[in-house]
Structure 1
Amino acid sequence: MLKKATIEDITTVAQLAMALWPDNEVVTLADEMKNIIVQPDAVIFLAFSEHEEIGFAQCQIRHDYVEGTATSPVGYLEGVYVKDAYRQKGVARELIATCEQWAKTQGCKEFASDCELHNEESLAMHIRLGFIEANRIICFTKTLI
């Protein structure tokens, strides 16, 4: 079962997001998720098994250029996470399909995502779900003195 997350779900979403983005603080993620939930061009969906929250997907509409796309706006999968015990059971597929459908209702003709170069599991999931690799990049930073 899936449902669109609401403000009441912030704690749950933040805890699931910690598993996906562990270098953050749960309080920081809760604040970020709260800001996302109230935006009209963003959405978070929660997946449940019985009464247990088992995953989430966060997507939004991007109006800036999205690598490999030809239209604007573009629906963008910002993150998807499913607990280990529920993987390979179609939960991520259902979450992403729901995000894609939501993006269509927002007027999008394309849907995009990304993953880190080293994240082979995410790359494989994206390919299985019909995404086509658009590009690979390495980003650099430099401190200006």
Structure 2
Amino acid sequence: MTSVIVESLSGNNTQHLAQLFLELWPECDFEEEMESCQEIAHSDTETAFLLKSGESYVAFIHVSLRTDYVEGAAQSPTAYVEGIFVKEGFRQMGLSKKLLQLAEKWALQKGCVQLASDAEISNTASIDFHKKVGFEEVNRIVCFIKELS
């Protein structure tokens, strides 16, 4: 595995997290993501961990405590993976697993007994990853919307 440094989200690296957010969700706006990352950095119910290789940030996981309904959860709050991303060129090296371990440790410290996540039904790579690292599929849904005139 490549040598990486783990960083917890802080005021010093929010910009880097926002940039990684845009790589995962390119339809998003940098300024909005920057604001979101600053909120996460000061939150008691959310956190993020970043992985740095050399001078480059190459991966992140964003985890929150959800108190609303979480499909398949046994208790509330439930720790929830809001996003996990590893840059191409750093995949298949165990970095996602490392990030999940950090998230699990944080969740346990917050009193959670489960970690939940989701993936788009068409994102087979993410679904396969989740199953590989021990997640159990609990439901599939297709969402619809109809414009009213």
The whole-number CA distance in structure 2 between the counterparts of 1:99 and 1:60 is: 9
- Normalised by the length of structure 1, the TM-score is 0.95
RMSD between superposed Cα atoms in Å: 1.2
2:27 is aligned, of 23, 29, 41, to 23
The whole-number CA distance in structure 2 between the counterparts of 1:99 and 1:131 is: 13
The whole-number CA distance in structure 2 between the counterparts of 1:138 and 1:8 is: 39
Gaps of 5+ in 2: none
Secondary structure, aligned partner of 1:28: helix
Q: CA deviation at 1:32?
A: 1.2
Question: What is the letter of the counterpart of residue 67 of structure 1?
Answer: E
Is the aligned partner of 1:2 residue 2:6? yes
Equivalent residue number for residue 136 of structure 2: 132
Equivalent residue number for residue 101 of structure 1: 105
Is the aligned partner of 1:122 residue 2:126? yes
- Percent sequence identity is 35
Q: CA deviation at 1:56?
A: 0.5
Aligned length in residues = 145
Q: CA deviation at 1:140?
A: 2.2
- Normalised by the length of structure 2, the TM-score is 0.92
Gaps of 5+ in 1: none
Summarize deviations over 1:30-64 as a string: whole Å, max 9, x none.
11111122110100100112332111100011111
Summarize deviations over 1:91-141 as a string: whole Å, max 9, x none.
011011101110000000111000001111111111111001010011223
The whole-number CA distance in structure 2 between the counterparts of 1:69 and 1:39 is: 23
Q: CA deviation at 1:144?
A: 5.0
Equivalent residue number for residue 61 of structure 2: 57
Q: CA deviation at 1:143?
A: 4.2
After TM superposition, the runs of 4+ consecutive aligned structure 1 residues lying more than 3 A away are 142-145
Cα distance change on mapping 1:26 and 1:108 into 2, 3 Å: same
The whole-number CA distance in structure 1 between the counterparts of 2:74 and 2:17 is: 32
